[in-house]
């Protein structure tokens, strides 16, 4: 929406936005050159779903850089025990990519749950993360998957963990090239949206040197996701142990983690119940 003299609040359209230049790089190096010289403010466009939301929010841009034609951003490759997933992949394409389905089937299945099929055909992994909207879900999945983000900027390559990305200012004049996710040792990856919009829970478990490292990531429509790490030792033995581990894990949820829809009391108890359910699945093999 935009406030115009005499007209009041009106929906953003071509009549309420100023002149905008469209730039279409074909390579990552072309992007960095264009980003450095483009007229400000600049927006990066891939699938285009979030740019529509930004215009509806009243945003205005002097330049749009369309990165959908950069082929390097649409690839998936195995490298040094990780899977490098291009930021330009649409959610639908990522969810059905053969390498991702084979190496990380739980993550591929989680991508298939996001939004609706029309959005999944257009919205990209990178756009979903870089929009920095708590209700968007790829950041939650990436945090549970222990992903790192690879950015390309004028000075070279910068790698950032999801944890650092979520608590840092938005990066400027750089391009999210890919997400790097561990591809070995996975025991479980499951995304539970059954309580959305009150909350979602993503659970992952990976074996490392005879120990099982589990992670529960809780998110709401209005709060950034929080990761709760759980050391399961060499495995689980009883149902009472599972319930105790789940309750203890959610004792670490920050006391101020709540929103207008869900109280901290509710999130702790509902989250522990969902975590215990998944731990039982893991214990039963």
| Number of H-type helices and E-type strands within the chain | 11, 14
Question: Quick one: which of 90, 85, 76, 92 has its CA closest to 123?
Answer: 90
Phi and psi dihedrals of 229, rounded to 5?
-90, 140
Give the DSSP H or E segment for 201.
Answer: strand 200-208
230 close to 249: Cβ distance less than 8 angstroms: yes
| Average pLDDT of the segment spanning 25-51 | 94
Q: How far apart are the C-alpha atoms of 264 and 232, rounded to whole Å?
A: 25
> What is the rounded distance in angstroms from the CA atom of residue 114 to the CA atom of residue 19?
34
Backbone dihedral region for residue 129 (phi beyond 0: left; psi -120 to 50: alpha; all else: beta): alpha
List the single range of 22-26, 68-72, 239-243 with lowest mean pLDDT: 239-243
Predicted local distance difference test score (pLDDT) of residue 12: 58
pLDDT at 11 over 70: no
The CATH architecture annotation of domain 71-182 reads 2-Layer Sandwich (3.30)
**198-208 pLDDT tens trace:** 999 999 999 98
Which residues have a Cβ under 8 Å from the Cβ of 184 and sit 6 or more positions away?
A: 81
Cα–Cα dist 190/145, whole Å: 10
The larger pLDDT score, comparing residue 57 to residue 32, is at: 32
Domain ranges of the chain: 2-66, 71-182, 186-283
Q: Specify whether the backbone of 233 is left (phi greater than 0), alpha (psi in -120 to 50) or beta.
A: left
The secondary structure of 77-146 as a DSSP string is EEETTEEEEETT-BHHHHHT-HHHHHH-HHHHHHHTTSS-HHHHHH-BHHHHHHT--TT-SHHHHHHHTT
Question: What average pLDDT score do residues 172-177 get?
Answer: 91
Task: Encode pLDDT of 118-161 as tens digits.
Answer: 999 999 999 999 999 999 999 999 999 999 999 998 889 999 99
State the helix-helix crossing angle for 239-251 and 264-283, rounded to 10 degrees. 140
> What pLDDT is attached to residue 176?
97
Q: Is beta strand 21-23 parallel, antiparallel or unpaired with respect to 63-66?
A: parallel
pLDDT band at 16 (very low <50, low <70, confident <90, very high): low
pLDDT (0 to 100) of residue 112 = 97
Q: What percent of the chain has pLDDT over 70?
A: 94
Q: Which of 34-38, 114-118, 281-285 has the lowest mean pLDDT?
A: 281-285
What does pLDDT average to over the chain? 92
The domain 186-283 having CATH identifier 3.30.390: the answer here is: yes
| Three-state SS annotation for 58-70 | CCCCCEEEECCCC
- Residue pair 204/214 in contact by the 8 Å Cβ criterion: yes
Residue 204, helix vs strand vs coil: strand
């Amino acid at each position: 929406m935009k406030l115009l003299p005499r007209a009041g609040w009106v929906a953003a359209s071509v009549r309420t936005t100023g002149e905008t230049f469209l730039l279409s790089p074909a390579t990552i190096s072309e992007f960095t050159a264009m980003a450095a010289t483009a007229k400000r403010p600049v927006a990066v466009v891939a699938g285009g779903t979030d740019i529509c939301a930004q215009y509806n929010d009243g945003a205005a841009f002097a330049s749009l850089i369309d990165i959908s034609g950069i082929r390097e951003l649409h690839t998936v490759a195995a490298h040094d025990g990780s899977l490098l997933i291009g930021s330009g992949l649409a959610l639908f394409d990522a969810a059905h990519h053969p390498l991702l389905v084979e190496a990380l089937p739980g993550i591929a299945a989680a991508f298939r749950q996001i939004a609706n099929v029309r959005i999944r055909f257009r919205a990209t992994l990178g756009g979903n993360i870089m929009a920095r909207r708590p209700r968007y879900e790829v950041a939650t999945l990436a945090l549970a998957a222990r992903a790192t983000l690879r950015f390309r900027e004028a000075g070279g390559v910068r790698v950032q963990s999801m944890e650092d990305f979520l608590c840092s200012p938005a990066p400027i004049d750089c391009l999210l090239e890919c997400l790097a996710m561990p591809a070995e040792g996975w025991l479980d990856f499951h995304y539970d949206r059954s309580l959305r919009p009150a909350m979602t829970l993503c659970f992952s478990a990976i074996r490392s040197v005879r120990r099982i490292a589990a992670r529960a990531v809780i998110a709401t429509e209005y709060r950034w996701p929080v990761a709760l790490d759980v050391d399961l030792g060499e495995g689980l033995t009883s149902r009472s142990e599972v319930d105790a581990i789940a309750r203890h894990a959610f004792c670490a949820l920050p006391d101020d983690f709540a929103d207008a829809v869900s109280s901290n009391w509710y999130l702790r108890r509902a989250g522990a119940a969902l975590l215990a359910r998944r731990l039982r699945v893991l214990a039963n093999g």
